[in-house]
């Protein structure tokens, strides 16, 4: 039984590896010097909603390894202030500030406020919690992560400023909308081409009221 499970696990990870190696966006990111295939998700979201060019302050919550930070640097103006937060370390990116911490810690929110000294034009989150294997627990953890990002944005985002958050299709959607309608407007959903079809992830783009 154990042997069968191990064999299945090996087969699944070989399948993942071969899909990853041949993936269009993995190859493109290697060629173009981006740290993640996820970089192309942000490029495609920005192509549609066009927020990077006009943002003078950008906050990326859950930024490691730094693909979205590289894209932000590339597509915003030279004087734009960019800050990335993550529990994990990243390799430095010139012109971008990084702070290591968990977004649930108040200390992190204090750091963000001191760094920008003004309201923020764009807050992004590509975060998802590690899966526990328990559907209900995973659902609650995703929900509380998105809720935390929305709360931080309500406090720190500029009027008309943009928010881009990874969300997951499924039961959480109605509750999320109720949570957001009070503080956000022009709420749209978008699944960029670089987001794998089989993944339930999509992105919510909205502006602060």
Ligand X SMILES: C[S@@+](CC[C@H](N)C(=O)[O-])C[C@H]1O[C@@H](n2cnc3c(N)ncnc32)[C@H](O)[C@@H]1O
Residues that bind ligand X (CB under 6 A): 35-36, 38-39, 62-68, 85-88, 102-104, 126-127, 129
Question: Of 85 and 146, which has the nearer Cβ to ligand X?
Answer: 85
User: Least distance (Å) from ligand X to the CB of residue 2?
Assistant: 31
Q: Name the token pair of 112.
A: 């963000």
Question: Of 36 and 158, which has the nearer Cβ to ligand X?
Answer: 36
Cβ–Cβ under 8 Å, residues 97 and 73: no
Cross-strand partners of 168:
201
Q: Name the token pair of 84.
A: 């990335």
Cβ–Cβ under 8 Å, residues 123 and 149: yes
User: Least distance (Å) from ligand X to the CB of residue 189?
Assistant: 18
Question: Of 7 and 76, which has the nearer Cβ to ligand X?
Answer: 76
Q: What is the SS3 assignment for 32?
A: helix
Q: Known catalytic residue: 28?
A: no
CA dist., res. 198 & res. 22, Å (int): 16
User: Least distance (Å) from ligand X to the CB of residue 48?
Assistant: 17
The active-site residue out of 41, 73, 81, 166 is 166
Which positions are catalytic?
166
């Amino acid at each position: 039984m154990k042997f069968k499970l191990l064999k299945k696990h090996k087969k699944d990870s070989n399948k993942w590896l071969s899909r990853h190696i041949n993936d269009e966006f993995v190859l493109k990111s290697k060629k173009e010097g981006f740290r993640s295939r996820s970089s192309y998700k942000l490029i495609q979201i920005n192509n549609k909603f066009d927020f990077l060019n006009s943002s003078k302050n950008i906050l990326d919550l859950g930024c490691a390894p730094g693909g979205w930070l590289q894209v932000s640097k590339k597509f915003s103006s030279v004087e734009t202030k960019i800050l990335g937060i993550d529990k994990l370390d990243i390799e430095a990116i010139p012109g971008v500030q990084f702070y290591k911490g968990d977004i649930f810690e108040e200390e992190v929110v204090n750091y963000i406020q001191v760094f920008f000294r003004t309201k923020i034009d764009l807050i992004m989150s590509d975060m998802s919690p590690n899966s526990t294997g328990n559907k209900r627990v995973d659902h609650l953890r995703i929900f509380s992560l998105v809720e935390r990002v929305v709360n931080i944005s309500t406090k720190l985002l500029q009027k008309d400023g943009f928010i881009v958050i990874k969300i997951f299709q499924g039961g959480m959607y109605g509750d999320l909308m109720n949570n957001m309608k009070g503080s956000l407007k022009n709420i749209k959903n978008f699944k960029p081409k670089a987001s794998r079809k089989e993944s339930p992830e999509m992105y919510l783009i909205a502006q602060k009221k």
